[in-house]
Amino acid sequence: MEGKRFEDIVRILIYIQLFLASVCVGSSPCMPESDRFGGYTVIGGSGNTSSAGVPSGSRVQVSVICNVGATAQSVTTQCSNGTWIPPWPRCKLPCSVPRNSGPVRQFVNGEATRPITSYYTRSTLPVGTQLVARCRDPGKYRLIGDQRRTCEGGQWTGEEPECQPVETQFLFYGALREVASNGTIVVYVHRGHPMRLDVVCYITSAWLGPPRLTTPLVNDEDLQHWNWPKSQGKRLYPISTDFSGMYTCSGSSSFHSVNVLFKDTIPYRVRAAECDVPAAPEHGRLLFGSRQQPRDIFTSGATVSFECEDDYRLVGSSEITCEKGQWSDDLPVCTGIMALFLRT
């Protein structure tokens, strides 16, 4: 009861303020506002509201009739010296739900727990919704177009994103990691349990060489490292939150950079039970696996195997299993038999 009495007092004070404003400043009428997505009906006021407007201090009820697909809520508003309080209602046209194209991944309002795929059962998203895009593997693709787009007037702003493969790629092995909705590679640091992360700069053609990996670490040259004909790797051990920053893989005529964030907290959440199709290593092939549905996914428990071409040997696991949305091990690589070995 006391809460309702307080609201009534506040409402009376607002009306008094509006009345005083109209007396002291003037009495400009308010004109009905047009809407390109619909029309309106005004109940109240006096005279011809379409031409003369609504007198200051008058209250009217505005009912909006929107075109097909658009929505609006009728309101009761008051004219205060040329200004509608609350604002005149408008029809809002939602946007169609976009689909991921190729390696593009989109997230509603930038939340990792709200991938656009979870909205495929809907037809539209409301006005003001923001989409944040990234590539499935930021180490191997570069995002072209707008990373952030907003639903405005039934259309998504900006240029539709796409992912283009790069010639200078990143491979990561070791510590637990994932890709944030904005494309940042997040590496989790286990406090009290030293972990390693091997970062590899890989060039798709020997003509692009020599490969060069640059890290944000001040002691970059002191890191354990190795060189192969088409790659250069560096080992971060033990990993630390101080290792965050931009990592760059360069060739003779091109380069690619990724943002890597080291965090000391591993989030607790239930991961999806499906895994994306793993990429076959260069000079190798994916041997078998039960591919699922149009989205090309593997269900939990599915296993795939790899093998290399002649004169190449497999480095890493020859068989991996989908476990709660994650592959049981890092993807292997095929290296030439004459490749240089690890050096310190």
Q: Which residue in the block uniquely carries the two structure tokens 């005279």?
A: 47
Backbone CA torsion sign across 139, 331, 262, 195 = negative
Written as six digits, the tokens of 153 are: 């007037």
First to last CA, the chain: 77
Q: Which of 172, 149, 153, 171 is nearest to 162 (CA)?
A: 149
Q: How far apart are CA 279 and CA 183, in angstroms?
A: 19
Spell out the residues 6+ positions from residue 13 whose beta carbon is closer than 8 angstroms to its own: none
Structure confidence by residue, pLDDT tens digits, 111-135: 988 999 999 998 999 999 999 999 9
Structure confidence by residue, pLDDT tens digits, 277-329: 787 888 888 876 544 333 345 666 677 888 998 888 888 888 888 876 778 88
**CB distance 172 to 138 below 8 Å:** no
Q: What is the percentage of the chain residues whose pLDDT exceeds 90?
A: 39
Q: How far apart are CA 135 and CA 139, in angstroms?
A: 9
Q: How far apart are CA 131 and CA 118, in angstroms?
A: 13
Q: How far apart are CA 24 and CA 139, in angstroms?
A: 64
Q: How many CA atoms lie less than 13 Å away from 321 in the CB half-sphere?
A: 4
Mean per-residue pLDDT of the chain: 82
What pTM does this model have?
A: 0.62
Size of the chain, expressed as the number of residues it contains: 344
- Residue range 235-243: mean pLDDT, rounded: 93
Q: How far apart are CA 54 and CA 307, in angstroms?
A: 78
Q: What pLDDT is recorded for position 342?
A: 44
Show the domains of the chain with their CATH numbers: 2-85 (no CATH), 95-164 (2.10.70.10), 166-268 (2.60.40.10), 270-344 (2.10.70.10)
DSSP states along 147-196: SEEEEETTEE-SPPPEEEE-SEEEEEEES-EEE-TTSPEEEE--TTS---
Structure confidence by residue, pLDDT tens digits, 240-253: 999 999 999 999 88
